[in-house]
Amino acid sequence: NRCIGTRYCANNCPYTARRFNWFDYNKRPLDELYWGPLSTPDKTGVRESVQLQKNPNVTVRMRGVIEKCTYCVQRLETAKILQKQKQRDSKNFRIATDSVQVACQQACPMEAISFGDLANPDSTVVKMKASPRNYDVLKYIGTRPRTSYLARLRNPNPKMPGAEHIAVWSSSQI
């Protein structure tokens, strides 16, 4: 089961969440990469997005491979290893609730992204999944999504024209 770069999975992904590696970022220095006709590097000579692709904690696979979000598996594995080291003699180990943050969760200034263990009733994710605002995208076609979303909160000005047609959420529904 190795990717051979046909890109059929990218074409058939219902979420359009897969990305194809067109370039081999490992072999060439960053300043020798092709930037495209409309793109230019920043003042250091290298765009920040390309520098982030060289993150030493994440494997950057070779050219011709489809990529998708792995939910920062390297962070999860590190947390598991550290927890196993702490609880060597215990056969029943569990990572502390909400102790691991994925990169997008850590970078989000609004704390709009939550990540955690659905089997742990004390987890923030379990509380958010219980919200009436929670929904899954394309669940009805059998995709078994791991990511779910909360509907947007709307709090319109009652004097605004048409405000009576906008659904209003109260803080008790969160």
User: Where in the chain are the domains?
Assistant: 1-68, 73-130, 131-174
CA distance 94 to 81: 11
Task: Grade residue 174 by pLDDT with cuts at 50, 70 and 90.
Answer: very low
Give just the sign of the alpha carbon dihedral 112, 116, 122, 126.
positive
Summarised one tens digit per residue, pLDDT across range 22-79 is 666 566 565 665 666 555 555 455 555 555 555 556 565 666 677 777 788 888 888 8
Name residue 148's beta-bridge partners.
Answer: 136
Residues 6+ apart with CB under 8 A from 173: 131, 132, 133
What is the pLDDT, as a whole number, of residue 26? 60
What is the pLDDT, as a whole number, of residue 16? 64
What is the pLDDT, as a whole number, of residue 75? 85
Where is average pLDDT lowest: 11-15, 111-115, 152-156?
11-15
* Among candidate residues 92, 93, 69, 98, the one with its CA nearest the CA of residue 81: 93
Work out the mean pLDDT of the chain and round it to a whole number: 73
In Å, what is the CA distance from 163 to each residue of 129, 158, 169?
A: 28, 6, 13
Query: Is the predicted pLDDT of residue 139 greater than 70, yes or no?
Result: yes
What is the pLDDT, as a whole number, of residue 56? 56
